[in-house]
Structure 1
Amino acid sequence: MNALSSKLDLEEYLHVLSGYFARKKPLFIEGDSKIHYKFIKELMHITDIKASPEVANLDVPLAHLSKQGVLKIYEIYTFVQIINYFTYLKKILVEDRLGEWMRKIEIPDEIAEICQYFNEKGELKSTIDDTFLSIEQALSRIKEETAQALRRIMSNTKLSLYLVDRQVHYINNQEALLLRGGFNHVIKGSVLGRSSSGFFYIFPDAIASLKSKESALIDRKEELIYTYTKKISTIFSKYVKFLSFVNREFDRFDAYYARVMLAKEKDLEFVLAKKTNTITLHKFSHPALKDPKPISIDFSKHVLMITGVNAGGKTMFLKSILSAAFLSKYLLPMKIDANHSEIGAFKEINAILDDPQNVKNDISTFAGRMGEFSKLFSKKDTLVGIDEIELGTDADEAASLFKVIIENLIKKDIKIIITTHHKRLASLLATHESVQLLAAIYDEKNQRPTYEFINGTIGKSYAFETALRYKIPPAIIQEARTIYGEDKEKLNELIQKNIDLELQMRAQSRELDEKLKDVQKLKSALQDEKERSQREFENSTLKMQKSFNKAIQEAKEAIKSKDVKEGHRFLNKAHEFKKAAKNVTLSQKSEDLKIGDRVKYGNSKGVIQSIKKDIAMIDCDGITMRVPLVSLRRSGNPPTKPSRVMITKPRSNSGVTLDLHGLRADEAIEKLDKFLSDALINGFDEVLVYHGIGTGKLAYAVKNFLSTYPSLVSFGDAPAKMGGYGATLIRL
């Protein structure tokens, strides 16, 4: 793996990733990658999780426990750190798969109690034992007495002439004073060493007794600690299977956590490797590149052959595809549009990129390459990248040889990416159904590579253009062109024309995409306006109904009244409400509009195509809309006239038909709505819609839509000869 990551320029990326791990571990996560992927995706949505503690490998301590051995105090504390971290995670992660996982980790009470023995420094707490507490207190007193004794010594006026400084120095964990020569007349002590300036580090005899007591107490403390390590190790031995389990689970969670932290910090995404032979990358950027130009490729065939200009990015394109497969294989985050990308799961990834020539082993470039190719015939489910495939031998001979080799590797279902400068091999394999061509683009006007690629064609090497760019005299280049041959130059011209045509089509495609976006925005705006007008119309209708109901109620009260004057008053009031209702109706009255008039509907302008009762069909920039006639206002400005496909009435008497077979319900309803609008515009009285019987969902959706559709006379099952239950006859 190290050799492959080096070839793919992923070493720095992996070094950064390793900084997130709590301890060194393999990249591969054992188990089902789909399950790992789901855990990682869940973890991506959780914030503020405390980082896992940095801990040592516990394989050796676990082996000791299995043999009833006694662990060192720091080894015990490493287990304690892991268990404490899971105790913390069990409180934080309580939902979904992560919560379910944490609930499966049940910490035994004896183990949990041991975790309470330690402080955050990894030391046993003095409160766990009375003897331990008394030793700690005695050591504290001795340290204070030692400090006071040293202060008294340094305050001696006779000694002050010999003191270099008034600091207490620690030499081999012993307190010492830094003195000048001749000190032995004023202080007794042991020389522990000399400074770089020639001064003496002196351990005073006056504190020797205190240090002796301290040493004895420390020995007692170490004995007590050893007693506890034996006790704890005995308990741990009972739970060695649990400790092995929790140790593995810690590595598993740490592997997830490191990947997620890297992804969040660098704004990366994950792509789960699937059981497919396809590699589809969308906006992938290689981690080693600074300000990279993202690549996109749909590599669905067995062989991808990349040709074209030198220094045009062919090798990095090859490395990028292999790197994406590598990162996906090990569930590592990458810079990519994951929603539009798909990467196959390959058992092995092989990169043949370097010159294998080795003088010591007497291996030539070509011989080394043949050795690497020979290994491929024993491989299965492998992705291979080969840079400069003809390296080390005659290009024409190599083209014939590699054609046969590649065709046989295709039969073994091996996926291959190839870069080459030579067109002969590309020409030999161009018509093979399993070979995909990709050409690096060169900007002839500015005389530089663009680091972009065109799918489905062979690229020029641009050797003459590159030489001219690097100041080779034009006369020499012209002579070289003559030697190269007129036929070959014509082939280059043909290739260039093909490339230019592809670039032109790309530009047109981008322009059409922009226009399509504008149409979609207009359609959305018109839909919003339609809904707003519909709400206004419904509100006006509701007000009118309320006014009528109120007028009727007042009239009833007038009839019931025995008082004639009171009756007249109620009748007058009823007439007032009726007049108000009439005003509402008049306010909704439309202008005197007819077919062909230019009208304004909200912020949109269009032309009236048809009018039926109080509903008008208008054409707004190629989009047909059915709107209330009262919502239209006359417009003096002509609308745009985009091309539009209209329904034409058939010659037979079978009527206009629409086939919805194979469509989803939402797709079918959208198509049916457009169909009926066009039918109304063209004045058709009867149309036939085929939807089939099947599960009945599509037929139900159609009839449910028609039940609320205005401007329909009737609809129902078609006669048997016209489709029966599998079709609906609609009368407009």
Structure 2
Amino acid sequence: MNSKIITTLEFDKIRQQLAQHAATENGKQTLLKLEPLTDYQDVQERQDETDDGRKVKRLKGGMPVPRLKDIRMQLKRLEIGGSLNGKEVSQVGRVLTTTNEVLRFFEWFYEYEVDFYKLYTIVEELIDLPDMRKRIARSISEDGEILNDASPELARIRQNIKATEGAIRTKLDDIIRTKANYLSDALVTIRNDRFVIPVKQEYRNAFGGIVHDQSSTGQTLFIEPQAVLDMNNKLRTLSADEKHEEERILYELSALLEPHIQELKSNHSVLTRLDIINAKARYAESIHATRPTISKENHIAIWAARHPLIDPETVVANDLLIGEEYQALIITGPNTGGKTIVLKTMGIIQLMGQAGLQIPAGENSQIGIFNEIFADIGDEQSIEQSLSTFSSHMTNIVSFLEHVDENSLLLFDELGSGTDPQEGASLAISILDYIGGKGSYVMATTHYPELKVYAYNRPGTINASMEFNGETLAPTYRLQIGIPGRSNAFDISRRLGLPGEIIDQATGFIHEESQSLNEMIADLEKKRRQTELESLQLNKQINESDQLLNELKKASHELESTKESLVEKAKQEANQLLQKTKEEAEFLMQEIREMQMNVSKNSQVKEHELIDLRRQFDQLEQKETVVTNKVLRREKEKKKLKAGDEVMTASYGQRGVLVEPVDKNQWVVQMGIMKMKLPESDLSKIEESPEKITRRKQKQIASVRSESTSHVSTQLDLRGLRYEEAMMELDSYLDAALLANYAQVTIVHGKGTGVIRQGVRDVLKKHPQVKSFDYAPASSGGNGATIAVFKG
């Protein structure tokens, strides 16, 4: 693309602003030379990079690329076997440190799987050299000073230097204290890298040694006393050793860097590229820019376009459209109306977009890709070259027409001006026809009324104008596409007080066709304002309709929420009623079990039938929508389980009583005649209501009274019973025997398979009131019966 366009559209100022956001020296220089690209894929990739930079800026405030010096010269010196100084090694080390920081910075994006177009591919090119990075950090400070840790020898030398300097100062301080009268000033100073004291001229021989300097008056001599001469010599030797060791360290570091020149070049290049992406993102944010889409057909639609170099507080945004329905836009209207700014805005935004920058425009804006953008803007007359305004314009246009094609955009300010109006208008029309024949895109400003008619009649061409407020007599700087501009000279003159007869006479001088054209334009503007008014009213009605629709949606949502709330409330009430019924059923079932034990061993009421009955109760329950939260879980944790608690088992849907814990997570649960090991997570404690507790106590009292008045045998025969029946019979019998105050009882279980016998012994072993038990004597049944002795 021609270099002149960069200056004409002030793109160089954009580059300067952009470079201020760069941190690296090479990044600044690259941005100051930033050029628009003309390949679709290249532009797309540059826009992808800028978009990635905006995402990093939004999520983490930008990439950690500090101010880095350009190290290409240092690397070139290493390639030819040269040695770097401390500051240069430090600059190389800074690149290595930054490489490591950037790699660690992007670990967060990898972890959270943030999507990027290009950044991951770019960052993966970085090569960390941890050993080299640590060695430089240990040896060289950020300002290029060689550190003591660079080598043990350097540390030893510097320690000796420090000690020697201390000894010299101590010796000189003693001299100053004892012979202060001989001195011009009581201080130690340095001349020719040696410690000296200021001695009065008349006492120059009092200290011996060497005179290194004298004051301007000659009254003070700076003498190195004989007493410190040897120590100063030693210090000079140590300083030379220090310098030699520093040179050796720098040479060694340079030699260590030499094999990594390519990695360092690559890292430097990648960091520069990341810095440029960072800068483009920061600049885009500073001007509130957006990413444009790119049209391969060069259909330009830039919404709310703003010139980036105009104060954001005063700039007027305009929609710029060209390429799809028309390829030429002719802008007419009075001076100082903003026509030139519209041209520049179109041109500079197009340059920015093709350079990979985001543009100061609204979302979903679209730019094209032009191989060339030509602009003839401003008065370029030259006294030295004897060129008039017209000649300078024509010179530019001639150079443009030699290179235009279907991928060119031309911007003309006051096309055909600077000469006879009739000839200028004719030339302008011919130039536009020529450009149209080449298929180029053109935006032109003009004062010629002939071009308004041309734009109206020629296919692919459209009129536009800058709006003018007739009431305030001031331009609004708003672009109106589709409406040609008209002169406001008569209106302005009348408002400013020019006599009416003058205006009327002037009106008569205007050609009838021009007068009709102005009247047509005025009518178009009137209809446009009316259309805008109707549009505003329509938009107001649409907004009101949208507001009403939102209110209806909100009311519908609230109604639905109320409905769900009522249904949930009904379910809760039904479940409460059902729970009360289930509790009563539990008491009934318990009474049935007791009746089964007391009435007959051959009862037909079976335990599995009772469990089935309980499950039928459970099936009546309505499932509520319960929101699990931490508060509920904590509340549940507060209800710690303990032996004797009544619980509900989730797996079996049956009530039970906790007998004893097996371990931290399991309990033995008594469900009717069955005992089972169940996990604690399967159990939920049942909180008894006051009415239920009262009824249970009354029942226990009645049961005790009944048992105490009934006859209980001292012997229980379990032969012929099933295991479950036998264990249930045994539990009831032991309670009854204890209430009867028996000292001991005999349980006949028979020999058989030994299952019931073992069950009896297990129950007796765990019973808290059984003192001891053993098989009966041989004469009383032997191991077919067991005698249990109760505690006194």
Would the TM-score normalized by the shorter structure come out above 0.5?
yes
The aligned counterpart of 2:105 is: 92
Asked whether the equivalents of residues 99 and 127 of structure 2 are also in contact (C-alpha less than 8 Å), the reply is: no
Residues of 1 paired with 2:260 and 2:466: CA distance? Answer: 62
Residues of 1 paired with 2:500 and 2:232: CA distance? Answer: 90
State whether structure 2 residue 272 is matched by structure 1 residue 251.
yes
The aligned counterpart of 2:434 is: 408
Point out the more displaced range, 502-511 or 315-324.
502-511
Label 1:457 to 1:348 Cα distance change in 2 as closer, same or farther (>3 A): same
The aligned counterpart of 1:454 is: 480
State whether structure 2 residue 163 is matched by structure 1 residue 137.
no
Asked whether the equivalents of residues 149 and 155 of structure 2 are also in contact (C-alpha less than 8 Å), the reply is: yes
Residues of 2 paired with 1:270 and 1:189: CA distance? Answer: 75
Whichever of the two has the greater Rg, that structure is: 2
Residues of 1 paired with 2:412 and 2:196: CA distance? Answer: 67
Residues of 1 paired with 2:218 and 2:65: CA distance? Answer: 46
Residues of 1 paired with 2:163 and 2:421: CA distance? Answer: 86
State whether structure 2 residue 243 is matched by structure 1 residue 239.
no
Shift of 1:255: 0.2
The aligned counterpart of 1:336 is: 361
| Deviation readout 1:250-282 (Å, 9 max, x if unpaired) | 110010112223344554444355534122222
Asked whether the equivalents of residues 174 and 203 of structure 1 are also in contact (C-alpha less than 8 Å), the reply is: no
Label 1:40 to 1:448 Cα distance change in 2 as closer, same or farther (>3 A): same
Shift of 1:542: 6.3
The aligned counterpart of 2:412 is: 386
Matches within 5 A, 1:57-72: 57-72=70-85
Count matched residues: 552
Shift of 1:440: 0.7
The aligned counterpart of 2:9 is: 8
| Structure 2 SS opposite 1:205 | strand
State the one-letter code of the partner of 1:76. Answer: V
Shift of 1:235: 3.3
Asked whether the equivalents of residues 201 and 220 of structure 2 are also in contact (C-alpha less than 8 Å), the reply is: no
Matches within 5 A, 1:205-216: 205-206=223-224
Residues of 2 paired with 1:392 and 1:191: CA distance? Answer: 78
Shift of 1:144: 5.5
The aligned counterpart of 1:579 is: none
Label 1:518 to 1:370 Cα distance change in 2 as closer, same or farther (>3 A): same
Shift of 1:185: 4.9
Label 1:524 to 1:137 Cα distance change in 2 as closer, same or farther (>3 A): same
Asked whether the equivalents of residues 272 and 328 of structure 1 are also in contact (C-alpha less than 8 Å), the reply is: no
The aligned counterpart of 2:222 is: 204
The aligned counterpart of 2:142 is: 120
The aligned counterpart of 2:460 is: 434
The aligned counterpart of 2:627 is: none
| Structure 2 SS opposite 1:25 | helix
Point out the more displaced range, 40-49 or 467-476.
467-476
The aligned counterpart of 1:639 is: none
Matches within 5 A, 1:615-626: none
TM-score (normalised: structure 2): 0.60
| Deviation readout 1:598-652 (Å, 9 max, x if unpaired) | xxxxxxxxxxxxxxxxxxxxxxxxxxxxxxxxxxxxxxxxxxxxxxxxxxxxxxx
State the one-letter code of the partner of 2:306. Answer: S
Asked whether the equivalents of residues 273 and 329 of structure 1 are also in contact (C-alpha less than 8 Å), the reply is: no
State the one-letter code of the partner of 1:358. Answer: S
Asked whether the equivalents of residues 331 and 445 of structure 2 are also in contact (C-alpha less than 8 Å), the reply is: yes
Label 1:236 to 1:428 Cα distance change in 2 as closer, same or farther (>3 A): same
Shift of 1:174: 9.8
Shift of 1:36: 1.6
Residues of 2 paired with 1:201 and 1:308: CA distance? Answer: 86
Asked whether the equivalents of residues 376 and 413 of structure 2 are also in contact (C-alpha less than 8 Å), the reply is: yes
The aligned counterpart of 2:67 is: 54
Asked whether the equivalents of residues 176 and 201 of structure 1 are also in contact (C-alpha less than 8 Å), the reply is: no
Asked whether the equivalents of residues 281 and 342 of structure 1 are also in contact (C-alpha less than 8 Å), the reply is: yes
Selected match of 1:369 from 389, 393, 405: 393
Label 1:470 to 1:202 Cα distance change in 2 as closer, same or farther (>3 A): farther
Residues of 1 paired with 2:349 and 2:463: CA distance? Answer: 20
State whether structure 2 residue 372 is matched by structure 1 residue 348.
yes
Matches within 5 A, 1:551-566: none
State the one-letter code of the partner of 2:30. Answer: P
Residues of 1 paired with 2:418 and 2:233: CA distance? Answer: 77
Selected match of 1:358 from 382, 403, 421: 382
Residues of 2 paired with 1:92 and 1:170: CA distance? Answer: 49
Point out the more displaced range, 126-135 or 297-306.
297-306
Asked whether the equivalents of residues 329 and 461 of structure 2 are also in contact (C-alpha less than 8 Å), the reply is: yes
Shift of 1:525: 1.2
Residues of 2 paired with 1:168 and 1:478: CA distance? Answer: 98
RMSD: 4.3
Shift of 1:129: 0.6
Shift of 1:80: 1.4
| Structure 1 SS opposite 2:321 | strand
Residues of 2 paired with 1:494 and 1:298: CA distance? Answer: 24
Label 1:340 to 1:558 Cα distance change in 2 as closer, same or farther (>3 A): same
State the one-letter code of the partner of 1:206. Answer: E
Asked whether the equivalents of residues 47 and 358 of structure 2 are also in contact (C-alpha less than 8 Å), the reply is: no
| Structure 2 SS opposite 1:437 | strand
Shift of 1:509: 1.2
| Structure 2 SS opposite 1:345 | coil
State the one-letter code of the partner of 1:19. Answer: Q
State the one-letter code of the partner of 2:8. Answer: K
Asked whether the equivalents of residues 93 and 136 of structure 2 are also in contact (C-alpha less than 8 Å), the reply is: yes
Residues of 1 paired with 2:174 and 2:246: CA distance? Answer: 35
Shift of 1:395: 2.9
Asked whether the equivalents of residues 357 and 365 of structure 1 are also in contact (C-alpha less than 8 Å), the reply is: yes
Asked whether the equivalents of residues 263 and 334 of structure 1 are also in contact (C-alpha less than 8 Å), the reply is: yes
Point out the more displaced range, 282-291 or 47-56.
47-56
The aligned counterpart of 2:611 is: none
State the one-letter code of the partner of 2:334. Answer: V
Residues of 2 paired with 1:294 and 1:167: CA distance? Answer: 72
Residues of 2 paired with 1:427 and 1:26: CA distance? Answer: 47
| Structure 2 SS opposite 1:389 | coil
Label 1:508 to 1:141 Cα distance change in 2 as closer, same or farther (>3 A): farther
The aligned counterpart of 1:18 is: 19
State whether structure 2 residue 532 is matched by structure 1 residue 506.
yes
| Deviation readout 1:270-321 (Å, 9 max, x if unpaired) | 4355534122222332222221222223333322222112111111121112
| Deviation readout 1:560-604 (Å, 9 max, x if unpaired) | 9999xxxxxxxxxxxxxxxxxxxxxxxxxxxxxxxxxxxxxxxxx
State the one-letter code of the partner of 1:441. Answer: E
The aligned counterpart of 2:555 is: 529
Residues of 1 paired with 2:536 and 2:176: CA distance? Answer: 85
| Structure 2 SS opposite 1:430 | helix
Selected match of 2:320 from 280, 284, 297: 297
Residues of 2 paired with 1:353 and 1:216: CA distance? Answer: 72
Shift of 1:559: 13
The aligned counterpart of 1:682 is: none
Residues of 2 paired with 1:530 and 1:410: CA distance? Answer: 59
Label 1:84 to 1:354 Cα distance change in 2 as closer, same or farther (>3 A): same
State the one-letter code of the partner of 2:349. Answer: A
Asked whether the equivalents of residues 272 and 329 of structure 1 are also in contact (C-alpha less than 8 Å), the reply is: no
The aligned counterpart of 2:609 is: none
Asked whether the equivalents of residues 90 and 143 of structure 2 are also in contact (C-alpha less than 8 Å), the reply is: no
Shift of 1:136: 3.0
Residues of 2 paired with 1:540 and 1:466: CA distance? Answer: 72
Shift of 1:91: 0.9
State the one-letter code of the partner of 2:471. Answer: K
Residues of 2 paired with 1:557 and 1:62: CA distance? Answer: 89
Residues of 2 paired with 1:93 and 1:445: CA distance? Answer: 59
Residues of 2 paired with 1:193 and 1:401: CA distance? Answer: 85
Asked whether the equivalents of residues 332 and 445 of structure 2 are also in contact (C-alpha less than 8 Å), the reply is: yes
The aligned counterpart of 2:93 is: 80
Where do 5+ consecutive residues of structure 2 fail to align?
205-209, 590-792
Shift of 1:419: 1.5
State the one-letter code of the partner of 1:245. Answer: S
Residues of 2 paired with 1:233 and 1:364: CA distance? Answer: 63
